[in-house]
Structure 1
Amino acid sequence: MLMHAIHMAILLFLNGLLILVDDIGHSILLSQQEDPVQSSLNFCRLILLYVKGFECTDVERTLDYALFFKQDGITYSDETWRIIGKINEKGARYEGLIDKYAKDIDIEDAIAKVASDTEVSGDGTLAGQLYMAANVSFIY
């Protein structure tokens, strides 16, 4: 039943029919005291809570539900290279799970954003590999 509720929420979200919270730090459902019927949904938190049960065991399914959370999903997963695609010895990237969304997002841009977040978090080696996968060249 929960899966049906999540799918309904996704459909409502995609059609612009949800009233969303303005801060993802709020609880899942935020009701106005002056008008309890007027409630806002923390859609991000709802999806994250739902995928929590399988995010480490079913990466492909997690990406299907949380496309817009792909940056965190990639860097916190042990399956980084399965998601973004492996890099061969010549620096060419093989397709990964993320390539399924190539018509919706710029894959190299998404990987570059993950690389940037990884660099900020202090893992320079992984960040460098991710930058290579994103075809980003930089000079220091």
Structure 2
Amino acid sequence: MARTSHDIERIFKLQKQIHVLSSWLLQKLDGQATELADKEQRILLALSNGDLARHDLFIARAADRLKSILAELGELTEARDKVQTEYIRQRMMLKVMEQRLAKMRGDEQRKAEDRELTDLLEHHLRRSA
């Protein structure tokens, strides 16, 4: 089934929207990773402070929270890798679709020009006959 450039353009616009959504998701994941890294840094600074180092309960809670942050960072990294892969795939699909759309528009333009030329030739032949 042949598709028109209008159909391809509609698909292209949808792919652009998916690409933008992937970009936003990457930004959100990067923000979460930064927040978790900041939390980790604050806990490590508190643990290294000599006054707090004597409080076993604080250290135990901080260590648990640190483990939790590291687990979240691992999950976040995995999610980001998946989104990054999809983002790259979407970008490649956009390029392919853009090329296909340009080719299709060119083909349609050539067909229209061929029809016009044929019509002019037929008109000219009718007049001269």
TM-score by length of 1: 0.22
Greater strand content: 1
Larger relative contact order (Cα-Cα within 8 Å, sequence gap ≥ 6) = 2
Task: Pick the structure with more helix per residue.
Answer: 2
